[in-house]
Structure 1
Amino acid sequence: MAIAGSVTVSESQGITYLNIDNRFATAKVSLFGGHVLSFTPKSDEVDRLWLSPHAYLNGERPIRGGIPVCWPWFSDDHGKEKGALPSHGFLRTQVWQLQRSEDTSVGTELVLSPSFTRADGFEYDCQVTLTIIIGESLSASLRTENTGVTPFTFNTALHTYLAVPSVQKVELEGLSGQYKDKLADWAVKDTPQPYKFTAETDRIHLNAPSTMTLKDNGEAFTQIGSDGHDSVVVWNPWQSAASISDMDAFGFVHMLCVETACTQGVALSPGESHTLTQIIGPPERSS
């Protein structure tokens, strides 16, 4: 298979990486996990993704940071006891294959697929593909197609770790309505306005907008687009980061997870498909 001209391939500690450098941006994708690790637009040279300096980059554990792929369940919602199956499913610890790469007028397109989609906890016939477009913005689309004869239901998320200058100073704009607070025994609460961060946060917002914006000291610096989702998950471990083996105690300061997700169940009949998309980039500038 021919590799697009903007793509080079490298390997380290058993992990194969796709390194993209086109006229719009640079990016890095790990085939372990089908995992986008960085995206830096050339318009401002600011990486929009956060990768833990202590992330396991040897294939032994899921990678902390970037855009982990959660599928076919979110968190431990797999119907068995917690810990019986891997959290967030089994795609983020697989080696994915590059099916196609192409340079186009809007960026570099990569199409990846996992090694397998049937495992304990999900034994249905389906096809999963991840299409990544590196242009002025980063687009990641996870498509699930039911290729069998049995209907199934699944959950999924693009568990994106966004880089922020300081989480204590940023504001997330675009969310409203109510959310489920995982840290308060799933209590339903109203979304704060303005939406700022002063403590550990783990929330599932069921009002799922198509556009959100991160602001730093009142100025927009990252725009987040979503499609095919029924939820937005917002997470920051705050001081609990000290107990996470692949984060440092103050790593929480420079990251915020804003996840495009399906947490309420996507039902697919035979022949049907579903696509979950997240688009990340600099805010649109008025001319």
Structure 2
Amino acid sequence: MPPVNSVTVSESNGLTFLDVSNTFASARISLFGGHILSYIPKKDGKERLWVSPHAYLNGERPIRGGIPVCWPWFSDDHGREKGALPAHGFLRTQVWKLIHSEEADNGTTITLSPNFTRAEGFEYDCNVNMIITVGDTMDISLNTENTGVTPFDFNCALHTYFHVDHIQHTQINGIEGQYQDKLDNWSLKPTPSPYTITGETDRIHVAPIKTAEIEVEGSPFTEVLSDGNDSLVVWNPWLGAASISDMDPFGYKHMLCVETSITQGKTVAPGASHTLRQTIVPK
């Protein structure tokens, strides 16, 4: 079935892209990784996502930036030696399929599904799909359904790289409580207030935070709504960007990851399902 009129299919360097343009916004999605690369609301014409200028857009490696899909584990939390299995799981390096598209009063909705969900490190029967609605907001729902006869546990994340004009003029509002500091042996620390980024940051806020706001130059820029999550991850590599091969050494100045996540494990019973949802709200 061909996509609806607001969706154009194109190919480049062996990858297939879906370009969405409607009265509300434009967006770009790579079928490699089911990876959202761009979201530009037409009310202000400002990009909300950041993609590295050095990102691999040829299928050789996961794409750096946009919204990578982490599933069925987060980072290297797969129960094996670090590096034994792909970081963040195996969905972000396979080609997804366009299952359905439709146009409605609130925008364009696209449903994608990966080619397989069973691989080394996760050998359970399940279905996964991602439903993306491009409108005045961008809504992403990652659905995991247990189609087998035994329960399973999994972690996942929508690892969103948000664009900011300058990280040193950026503040995060709405996050409270404690976080696990991955840079300091997972120690628990209180969330800073005001929440600004002043150096390398890799934090798992261990609470089901539903609303966070990215403020740029003193004004709200993007609101991040989360549902079905047990945590929110905040990441910026700072000067460590220089050691990341597909990232500009100064790219950290223009990005901030705020990731709707399950990092503490979610059990899905046979016949049951779980939805992790993130909504990007331009302000």
TM-score (norm 1): 0.98
Matches within 5 A, 1:212-223: 212-223=212-223
1:255 aligns with 2:240: no
Which residue in the other structure is 1:146 paired with?
146
SS in 2 for 1:8: strand
Give, as a single letter, the amino acid of the residue that structure 1 aligns with 2:83: G
Distance in 2 (alpha carbons) for counterparts of 1:76 and 1:271: 27
Matches within 5 A, 1:18-167: 18-167=18-167
Spell out, residue by residue over 1:57-96, the C-alpha distance to the aligned partner (whole angstroms, 9 max, x if none): 0000000000000000000000000000000000000000
Distance in 1 (alpha carbons) for counterparts of 2:115 and 2:99: 11
Distance in 2 (alpha carbons) for counterparts of 1:193 and 1:230: 21
Distance in 2 (alpha carbons) for counterparts of 1:82 and 1:213: 33
1:9 aligns with 2:9: yes
Distance in 1 (alpha carbons) for counterparts of 2:86 and 2:78: 9
Distance in 2 (alpha carbons) for counterparts of 1:180 and 1:21: 39
SS in 1 for 2:195: coil
Q: Give yes or no for contact 1:141–1:278 (8 Å, CA) kept in 2.
A: yes
Residue segments in structure 2 that go unaligned for 5+ positions in a row: none
SS in 1 for 2:167: coil
Runs of 4+ aligned residues of structure 1 deviating over 6 Å after TM superposition are none
Give, as a single letter, the amino acid of the residue that structure 2 aligns with 1:30: S
Q: Give yes or no for contact 1:48–1:281 (8 Å, CA) kept in 2.
A: no
Q: Give yes or no for contact 1:113–1:129 (8 Å, CA) kept in 2.
A: yes
Distance in 2 (alpha carbons) for counterparts of 1:225 and 1:47: 18
Spell out, residue by residue over 1:250-279, the C-alpha distance to the aligned partner (whole angstroms, 9 max, x if none): 000000000000000000110010000001
SS in 1 for 2:252: helix
Which residue in the other structure is 1:173 paired with?
173
* Count of matched residue pairs: 283
Give, as a single letter, the amino acid of the residue that structure 1 aligns with 2:153: T
Distance in 2 (alpha carbons) for counterparts of 1:103 and 1:69: 24
Distance in 2 (alpha carbons) for counterparts of 1:208 and 1:239: 29
Distance in 2 (alpha carbons) for counterparts of 1:2 and 1:165: 37
Give, as a single letter, the amino acid of the residue that structure 2 aligns with 1:182: K
1:282 aligns with 2:275: no
Q: How far apart are residue 216 of structure 1 and its match?
A: 1.3
Which residue in the other structure is 1:187 paired with?
187
Q: How far apart are residue 101 of structure 1 and its match?
A: 0.5
Distance in 2 (alpha carbons) for counterparts of 1:43 and 1:201: 32
SS in 2 for 1:242: helix
Q: How far apart are residue 281 of structure 1 and its match?
A: 2.4
Q: How far apart are residue 3 of structure 1 and its match?
A: 1.1
Q: How far apart are residue 2 of structure 1 and its match?
A: 2.8
Distance in 1 (alpha carbons) for counterparts of 2:171 and 2:222: 11
Which residue in the other structure is 2:246 paired with?
246
SS in 2 for 1:202: strand
Spell out, residue by residue over 1:174-202, the C-alpha distance to the aligned partner (whole angstroms, 9 max, x if none): 10000000001101000001100110000
Distance in 2 (alpha carbons) for counterparts of 1:178 and 1:217: 26
Distance in 1 (alpha carbons) for counterparts of 2:195 and 2:145: 36
Distance in 1 (alpha carbons) for counterparts of 2:44 and 2:243: 34
1:204 aligns with 2:204: yes
Distance in 2 (alpha carbons) for counterparts of 1:64 and 1:43: 27
Residue segments in structure 1 that go unaligned for 5+ positions in a row: none
Q: Give yes or no for contact 1:41–1:281 (8 Å, CA) kept in 2.
A: no
Give, as a single letter, the amino acid of the residue that structure 2 aligns with 1:124: Y
SS in 2 for 1:168: helix
Distance in 2 (alpha carbons) for counterparts of 1:233 and 1:219: 22
Give, as a single letter, the amino acid of the residue that structure 2 aligns with 1:271: G
Distance in 1 (alpha carbons) for counterparts of 2:16 and 2:104: 23
Q: Give yes or no for contact 1:28–1:36 (8 Å, CA) kept in 2.
A: yes
Distance in 2 (alpha carbons) for counterparts of 1:176 and 1:206: 10
Distance in 1 (alpha carbons) for counterparts of 2:187 and 2:55: 32
TM-score (norm 2): 0.99
